A and B are shown apart, each in its own frame.
Chain A
Amino acid sequence: MYYIDPHIHMVSRTTDDYETLARMGCVAISEPAFWAGYDRGSAGGFRDYFVQLTEVEPKRAADYGIEHFTWLCINAKEAENVQLSRDVLSLIPEFLDCPNVLGIGEIGLNKNTPNESVIFQEHVELAIYHDQQILIHTPHLEDKYQGTRMILDMLADHPRLEPSRVLVDHVEEHTVREVLDAGYWAGMTLYPVTKCTPARAVDIIETVGAARLCVNSAGDWGPSKPTAVPDLIFEMRKRGHRESLIKDIVFNNPRTFFSQSKNFRIADPEAR
């Protein structure tokens, strides 16, 4: 089955992974800007990273027939440094017209601090000003519930923000309903230990339905599996779910969400 991985960090993956993804049916990916595993020392480091996301990765992906899209921001962890964050925010507009940029992301919270909250709000204002979609990271483990509630609080401060143009990512059993009930899209990340397993993600789909719900691998430099979305497809088939429902989750839903960006174009491979 053809699928889209709506959240994967290919700058941290090998070219062999691109080939594996293509062989597994991946036709498009979206790569949010994130924490590199260390704190960068200057805004210049982020400029170089944004060039990598908008020029280098699309070429690597294209070699394997995969469309590459991206989102720009300073991530929640480095957002603790407010001055650096504002320097990076000032760089972002010059990249927004690059042909593979879908919006602002993955912004969010990490340890749910005042500084992170201030920079989150400034990112949202930047997105609204430039009419961009938003992709949001929710915190890990014990911080997730509190951070998700804080994020929903802050988003509600912006009446001009269309919930249908925002995806709140890394939802789990205790956060998915509040995100969907507020009108946002929700993403489930399939991680071996710290987020959803494919089995639990399918449980959530069975519980809340498939509307406005996506799944991703969030493959990066840490413990993660870039082929996690095919694992979910396999789990859904084992449970006897309809192929049309599986396709909604792994292809139609991300395509519908991304299509709200002027830069997203992809044909259904089955219609070729």
Chain B
Amino acid sequence: MKSSKQILDREFLELRSKLLDLAASLDRIDRAEGSVAADQRMRLLAEGIRIIGNQSPQRAYQIQQLFSRQFDPQWKQKFNLPTRN
């Protein structure tokens, strides 16, 4: 397993490039006509960026959860789906 320093050395330029891509995409949206400020997807993107900035582990897991529909444990009753055992 490589060290943190080795991984940062290997991936720094790629990470820098991904940050620039993200910033440029948001700039592109801002430059375009109209406004998407009220679009729910913009709120999700902003929250995702906040998660990336956190020091907590499992950022990828947290972002996956952010973009996921909730699970309702009572879903079978709502679907009237019989239990089969």
Contact = CB atoms under 8 A, between A and B. Distances in A.
Interface of A: 112, 114, 117-118, 121, 125, 141-146, 149-150, 153, 157-159, 172-174, 200, 203, 206, 238-240
Interface of B: 1-2, 10, 58, 60-61, 64-65, 67-72, 75-76, 79-81, 83-85
Given A150-B71, A153-B75, A145 B80 contact: no
| Interface of A (DSSP majority class) | helix
A12 to B, nearest CB: 27
18 contacts: A114-B79, A121-B84, A142-B68, A143-B69, A144-B68, A145-B69, A145-B71, A146-B68, A146-B70, A149-B71, A150-B75, A157-B83, A157-B85, A158-B85, A173-B58, A174-B61, A206-B1, A240-B2
Contacts of A173: 58, 60-61, 64
A151 B68 CA distance: 16
**Chain B contact residues: helix, strand, loop or mixed:** loop
A157 B84 contact: yes
B68 A145 contact: yes
Given A117-B79, A157-B84, A240-B2, A146 B71 contact: yes
Contacts of A150: 71, 75
Contacts of B70: 146
Contacts of A114: 79-81
A55 to B, nearest CB: 34
The residue in A142, A150, A174 that gathers the most chain B C-beta atoms within 10 A of its C-beta is A174
A125 B82 CA distance: 13
A190 to B, nearest CB: 15
A142 B40 CA distance: 13
Most A Cβ at <10 Å: residue of B68, B71, B75, B85: B68
Contacts of B2: 239-240
Contacts of B79: 114, 117
A240 B69 contact: no
B11 to A, nearest CB: 9
Nearest to B70: A146
A200 B84 contact: no
Given A142-B68, A173-B64, A240-B2, A125 B81 contact: no
Nearest to B78: A114
Nearest to A143: B69
A172 to B, nearest CB: 6
B61 A158 contact: no
A240 B1 contact: yes
Contacts of B65: 145, 174
Given A144-B68, A172-B64, 5 more contacts: A145-B68, A145-B69, A146-B68, A150-B71, A238-B10
Contacts of A157: 83-85
A172 B61 CA distance: 9
Contacts of A117: 79, 81
Nearest to A139: B69
A113 B2 CA distance: 45
Nearest to B80: A114
